[in-house]
Amino acid sequence: MKAHDGMYIGGEWRPAAGPDAIAVVNPADEQVIGHVPAGTAEDVDAAVRAARAAFPGWAATPPAERAGRIAALRDVLAARKDEIAETVTAELGSPLPLSQAVHAGVPVLVAGSYAELAASYAFEEKLGNSTVLLEPVGVVGAITPWNYPLHQIVAKVAPALAAGCTVVLKPAEDTPLTAQLFAEAVQEAGLPAGVFNLVTGIGAVAGQALAGHEGVDLVSFTGSTAVGRRIGATAGAAVKRVALELGGKSANVILPGADLAKAVNVGVANVMSNSGQTCSAWTRMLVDAERYEEAVALAATAVAKYVPGERIGPVVNAKQQARVRGYIEKGVEEGARLVAGGPEAPRDQGYYVSPTVFADVTPDMTIAQEEIFGPVLSILRYEDVDDALRIANGTVYGLAGAVWGADDEEAVAFARRMDTGQVDINGGRFNPLAPFGGYKQSGVGRELGPHGLSEYLQTKSLQF
List of residues contacting ligand NDP (CB under 6 A): 143-145, 147, 170, 172-174, 202-204, 207-208, 211, 222-224, 227, 230-231, 245-247, 279, 320, 371, 373
Q: Residue 52 and residue 48: Cα distance in Å, rounded?
A: 6
Amino acid at 248: G
Distance in Å, CB of 272 to ligand NDP, minimum: 16
Q: Residue 4 and residue 35: Cα distance in Å, rounded?
A: 8
Distance in Å, CB of 23 to ligand NDP, minimum: 13
Residue 152: how many CA atoms within 13 Å on its side-chain side?
28
Q: Is 214 a known active-site residue?
A: no
Q: Residue 322 and residue 223: Cα distance in Å, rounded?
A: 18
Distance in Å, CB of 220 to ligand NDP, minimum: 11
If the CB atoms of residues 210 and 266 are measured against ligand NDP, the closer one turns out to be 210
- Decide: helix, strand or coil at residue 464: coil
In sequence order, which residues have a C-beta less than 8 Å from that of residue 162 and are 6 or more positions away? 63, 66, 67, 70, 114, 115, 117, 118, 121, 453, 456
Residue 427 gets the label, from left (phi > 0), alpha (psi -120 to 50) or beta, of left
- Decide: helix, strand or coil at residue 400: coil
Q: Is 245 a known active-site residue?
A: yes
Active-site pick, 173, 184, 245, 447: 245
DSSP state of 447: B
Active-site pick, 173, 184, 279, 371: 279
If the CB atoms of residues 245 and 410 are measured against ligand NDP, the closer one turns out to be 245
CA-based end-to-end distance of the chain: 59
Distance in Å, CB of 204 to ligand NDP, minimum: 5
Q: Residue 337 and residue 390: Cα distance in Å, rounded?
A: 22
Distance in Å, CB of 16 to ligand NDP, minimum: 15
Q: Residue 77 and residue 137: Cα distance in Å, rounded?
A: 26
Asked if 159 and 165 touch (Cβ cutoff 8 Å), the reply is: no
Q: Which helix (H) or strand (E) holds 199?
A: none
Distance in Å, CB of 455 to ligand NDP, minimum: 16
If the CB atoms of residues 371 and 424 are measured against ligand NDP, the closer one turns out to be 371
- The sign of the CA dihedral 180, 181, 183, 188 is positive
If the CB atoms of residues 34 and 223 are measured against ligand NDP, the closer one turns out to be 223
If the CB atoms of residues 11 and 341 are measured against ligand NDP, the closer one turns out to be 341
In sequence order, which residues have a C-beta less than 8 Å from that of residue 444 and are 6 or more positions away? 232, 242, 243, 244, 437, 438
CB atoms within 10 A of CB 293: 12
If the CB atoms of residues 170 and 325 are measured against ligand NDP, the closer one turns out to be 170
Distance in Å, CB of 15 to ligand NDP, minimum: 21
If the CB atoms of residues 69 and 151 are measured against ligand NDP, the closer one turns out to be 151
| Active-site amino acid positions | 245, 279
